Each structure stands twice: as C-alpha cells, then as structure tokens.
C-alpha cells in the first residue's frame, strides 16, 4: 500500500478545477497526522509537496513515476523553479515511487514566489508542476515550522535570498548586484500572503552594456515589477522610489514617484498610490 495513500486518493477524486492550483491536504501513513501543501503535476496525477516534519520542512514528490523494485536508499534530485535549479538530497523509496528530502530556504522561497517548477529525478523524464496558489498553501503548512520562519521573510543562513534572482540573472545574462531596498514584500492583493516588489532601479548588471536597471530604466523612470501571490501573476508600472504604505488591516498600497502627463505637465513631479482592484494594481484617483 502506498505510504501516501490518503493524498493519492484525493488527487484521483478531486475535480480538475481543484487540481489547477496548490492545496493543503492530508499527510501520509508514513508520517501520520501531518498535512502537506501540494501541487499536481502537468500529467494530472502525482504531486510535488512540502510538509512540516519534526519542526523542519520536508519536500516530497510521488505518484507520477512508476513504482519499482529495490531497496530504500539515499538519492539526490533537483527541483527547477522558473529556470533556477535547486538540489535536494534525501530518501528514495522505489517501491512507492517516492522521493523525499530537506529543501533549502532558497527553494522554499522560490516555490512561494515562482510560477512553475520542474522535478528532475534520476532515471525518469522530468515533470512540470504549476505553482499557482503555492505561496498561500506553503504558508499554511510551513509558517512557524523551525527554520522556515526565517525563509518566509527572505533570510537565509547562506546569505540573502533574492526573490527575483532568476529573473534578474536572466536579464543581466550573468552576475549582478542589488541594493538592500530594491526588493520589498507586503500584502498588496486580496489574500493574506505577502506579495513581492522589485525596483529595477536598484539592480546593476556586471555587464554594464545591459544598461541601467538591466535595461528597465530610462532617463527618468524605471520599471517596478510586482509579483502577486493570490493570482500568481505579475504587473509592471513605471516610477521611482517605490514604497509600501499602510492602508488598513495589514494591507499595503504601493507608492511611486513619477512625472509627466500623469502629474499635469511634462515638468511636473508627483506621487502615485497604487491599490488592488481585484485583479491588478491601479492608480488611486
């Protein structure tokens, strides 16, 4: 019998609309009494999941690779989030088609903020897992779980986690530096999970030919990138000096400084407050 039988049954019986995003479901017979945050693979069966086990995050994937004979053994595999590869070393249970391992803080942060993961295990074809709703589900399961309490705020024993790191590295085609104020988090959309903001004006590529802010800055204004956890979508606005300001009940608004027609004239400078309208940020009239 599969040691993750309860969750596998859930995956089989759940409607497609439920499987389209990450959920929190029952744990396993192997770890009785636990729950997991999980996303279903592109194949419509099998999952990538995380749980809190003895005060530490545990990542597992099962249900999409055929069970095989063989002893349980230590094995390494990788999870690729939006092109950024993370390695996981843990236990492979061939008879259950199951891989488990301790995820790094960087991997947890990437799963929260990313749009798509790919699981690559030895001897099997890679499988994709959409990350829609992952931030909310992972927070339900892992917030307060040992070291992940620091991962949720972007801290890491190995150093600072750059939430937009893969995007920046791609745009810079290599190395870069980023100011401490260039990234910020706060509740901008309709859920209870912090969203992520990147000020491209705080990014400098090692290859200076890429331009100011990796090419996302003009003579006066820069692109400001926002990643929303509720919709797993992104939005870009133009401005400088982005700042998260309080609204009510812990919800934030985005304040930017801009110039031009928005302010009443080409030489005019003004602040713009951006608020959530249910699907994106729009300027407050």
Q: Are residues 64 and 124 in the same domain?
A: yes
The Cα 34–Cα 30 span in angstroms is 9
In a domain, 188, yes or no: yes
Q: Are residues 147 and 170 in the same domain?
A: no
Q: Are residues 144 and 269 in the same domain?
A: no
Q: Are residues 132 and 174 in the same domain?
A: no
* Residue 58: domain span: 5-151
pLDDT digits (tens, 9 = 90+) for 64-109: 888 888 888 999 999 999 889 999 999 998 988 889 999 998 999 8
With a pLDDT cut of 70, the percent of the chain lying above it is 84
The Cα 92–Cα 7 span in angstroms is 18
pLDDT of residue 156: 33
In a domain, 70, yes or no: yes
The Cα 51–Cα 49 span in angstroms is 7
pLDDT of residue 6: 42
Q: Are residues 197 and 270 in the same domain?
A: yes
Local confidence band at 237 (pLDDT 50, 70, 90 cut-offs) = very high
Decide if pLDDT at 284 tops 60: yes
Q: Are residues 125 and 217 in the same domain?
A: no
The Cα 3–Cα 96 span in angstroms is 7
pLDDT of residue 146: 63
In a domain, 266, yes or no: yes
Which domain CATH number covers 136?
Answer: 2.60.40
Q: Are residues 63 and 108 in the same domain?
A: yes
* Strand (E) or helix (H) holding 150: helix 148-151
For range 222-250, the mean pLDDT: 88
The Cα 261–Cα 266 span in angstroms is 6
pLDDT of residue 7: 46
273-278 own/partner pairs: CB under 8 Å, 24+ apart: 273/245, 274/237, 275/247, 276/188, 276/189, 276/190, 276/251, 278/190
What predicted TM-score, i.e. pTM, was given to this entire model?
0.53
Which of the pair, 55 or 209, is modelled with greater confidence?
209
pLDDT digits (tens, 9 = 90+) for 18-66: 455 888 876 555 555 567 888 988 888 788 999 988 888 999 988 888 8
pLDDT of residue 150: 38
Decide if pLDDT at 14 tops 60: no
Q: Are residues 199 and 130 in the same domain?
A: no
∠ Cα 276 277 280 (to 5°): 65
The Cα 47–Cα 43 span in angstroms is 10
The Cα 174–Cα 214 span in angstroms is 11
Last residue of a domain, one of 151, 186, 206: 151
Which range has the worst mean pLDDT, 150-159, 181-190, 258-267? 150-159
Q: Are residues 170 and 143 in the same domain?
A: no
In a domain, 156, yes or no: no
Q: Are residues 184 and 126 in the same domain?
A: no
Q: Are residues 13 and 88 in the same domain?
A: yes
pLDDT of residue 273: 95
Last residue of a domain, one of 107, 124, 151: 151
Number of domain units in the chain? 2
In a domain, 160, yes or no: no
Q: Are residues 250 and 213 in the same domain?
A: yes
Decide if pLDDT at 192 tops 50: yes
């Amino acid at each position: 019998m599969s040691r993750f039988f309860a969750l596998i049954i859930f995956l089989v019986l759940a409607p497609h609309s439920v499987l389209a995003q990450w959920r929190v479901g029952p744990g396993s017979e192997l770890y009785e009494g636990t729950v997991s945050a999980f996303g279903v693979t592109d194949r419509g069966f099998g999952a990538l999941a995380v749980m809190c086990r003895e005060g530490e995050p545990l990542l597992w994937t099962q249900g999409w690779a055929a069970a095989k004979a063989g002893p349980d053994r230590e094995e390494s595999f990788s999870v690729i989030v939006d092109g950024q590869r993370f390695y996981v070393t843990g236990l492979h249970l061939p008879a259950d088609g199951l891989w488990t391992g301790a995820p790094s803080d960087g991997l947890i942060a990437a799963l929260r903020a990313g749009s798509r993961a790919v699981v690559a295990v030895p001897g099997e074809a890679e499988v994709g897992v959409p990350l829609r709703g992952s931030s909310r589900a992972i927070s339900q399961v892992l917030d307060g779980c040992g070291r992940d309490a620091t991962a949720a705020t972007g801290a890491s024993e190995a150093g600072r986690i750059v939430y937009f790191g893969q995007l920046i590295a791609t745009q810079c085609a290599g190395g870069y530096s980023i100011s401490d104020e260039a990234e910020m988090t706060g509740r901008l959309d309709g859920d209870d999970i912090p969203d992520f903001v990147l000020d491209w004006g705080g990014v400098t590529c090692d290859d200076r030919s890429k331009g100011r802010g990796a090419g996302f800055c003009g003579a006066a204004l820069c692109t400001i990138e926002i990643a929303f956890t509720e919709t797993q979508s992104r939005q870009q606005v133009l401005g400088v000096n982005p700042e998260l300001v309080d609204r009510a009940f812990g919800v934030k608004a985005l304040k930017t400084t801009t110039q031009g027609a928005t302010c009443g004239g080409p030489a005019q400078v003004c602040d713009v407050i951006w608020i959530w309208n249910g699907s994106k940020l729009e300027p407050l009239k």
